[in-house]
Amino acid sequence: MNQKEVALPLWRQLSATASIVQAVRSGVSGTAALEAVAPQLRPGVQALVFHVWRNLGRAEALRGKLASRTPPAAADALLCSALALAWDEAQAPYDCFTLVNQSVEAAKHQPDTKAQANFLNACLRRFLRERDALVVSTDVDPVALWNHPMWWIKQIQREQPQHWQAILKAANGQAPMVLRVNQRKTNAADYCMMLEQAGIAAKLQTGGSIVLQRAVGVQQLPGFAKGLVSVQDAAAQMAATLLLDGMPRGTDQRILDACAAPGGKTGHLLELSDGHVLALEIDGRRTDRIRQNLQRLGLHAEIVTADASQPQTWWDGRPFDAILLDAPCTASGIVRRHPDVRWLRRESDVAQLAAIQQHMLQTLWGLLRPGGRLLYCTCSLFKAEGDGQTQTFLTHNTDAVLMPSPGHLIPRNGAKLGAVPDNEPCDHDGFYYALLQKRMA
């Protein structure tokens, strides 16, 4: 055993994993909870907690068979984490006996779980003895089968009755690493050759995105530091092209990226346009991310920390030619990449976020010149945040015309291209796009 392994015992990683699960259950995003983990623990903990989130429905069902009542929050998070990691021996990241032993060790080391250490030990030892029967007994539970909250499953069933199973299955998979080539510096075909020369297996997808066979560190990507390429899902790469395709490419073009962080779509807009781009972000820390990303690409935008829904605080009164509104949403379409989202969101969030989206859409429409375009998008599967939002907007704004748009893009795994025939023929996350044009007066 080397020094690093001694310094990072598994029980410490399991303890941190359980703490993150508990934080998400209390309403903290998984990203924020992970950032609070010690840097030396973070990579291992991220791998563990992603596995837990993808199996938490099964774990909670098993806990219901093992315990007559739900344990205190910290102990329950540790118990469910251990069950999520160990229930399927073929996919378990460690030997199941080791997981049980180290989970009990984690309970003994933490003040808020120490009193439940013997209880956790009894539950987990019983699980090891009766695993097969316990798993079969939970197979009738949809939450255990699909590892999503019941309200989420029902909503997808209602809105996508033909494809709900494929959607939920795709959401439980791991998303690939996908690249966007900076067309100002190279092209996709040439960059694929560069990847091949670097020994990185990749495939060029429809639309120009590049999917890697295996994820690598960004510094291993040829020319990454020089801005030749960015990491961005294929669905997200559609935004800039949809908004700008067919529009004049002039330096006097005014473009607004209304919710810009972390800057991926901002960079793409600048790669495709010679115009002036105003990038807004309400969070100052995330504004810094935009600057860093654009600096690497060698591009420039006017970056302002402001609330896009309150233009009186930032707008100079000059109308925009094009507006990208990537609105705050449930993120239900990117669960492959953020598996905590399904456990973080509540059913009431859908309506609350839809109200915010409606307000932003209506507000920003007033800043668009006649003949200009607004692209409304969300990384959501739910129709209240997509098609329902667009239809309501068109009903109340007779000067708006819906241009050819993808609508709802259902997440899919590129290895099973026939699963959802309405999709683009490539691997991508779930998104919604509606391109709206303002009628000339």
- Give the active site residue among 80, 96, 379, 426: 379
Residue 12 half-sphere exposure, CB side, CA atoms within 13 Å?
Answer: 14
| CA Rg value for the chain | 23
> Which amino acid is present at 53?
W
379 in catalytic set: yes
- C-alpha 120/C-alpha 66 separation (Å) is 10
| DSSP for residue 93 | S
Q: Are 380 and 329 in contact (CB under 8 A)?
A: yes
Whole-angstrom distance, CA of residue 266 vs CA of residue 72: 45
Helices (H) and strands (E) in the chain, counts: 18, 12
Q: Please provide residue 370's backbone torsions phi and psi, each rounded to the nearest 5 degrees.
A: -55, 135
Q: Are 409 and 430 in contact (CB under 8 A)?
A: yes
Place of tokens 């990537």: 326
Burial zone of 131 (CB within 10 Å; 0-12 exposed, 13-18 middle, 19+ buried): middle
* Other beta carbons within 10 Å of 259: 21
Among candidates 302, 328, 329, which has minimal Cα distance to 315?
A: 302
**H helices of 8-55, where?**
10-25, 30-35, 42-53
Q: Is 407 helix (H, G, I), strand (E, B) or coil?
A: strand
What is the rounded CA–CA span in Å between residue 147 and residue 336? 12
DSSP SS3 for 78 = helix
Percent of residues in the chain assigned helix, strand, coil, to nearest 5: 50, 15, 40
Angle at 189 between CA 178 and CA 420, to 5 degrees: 45
**343 contacts 77 by C-beta, under 8 angstroms:** no
Residues with a known catalytic role: 379
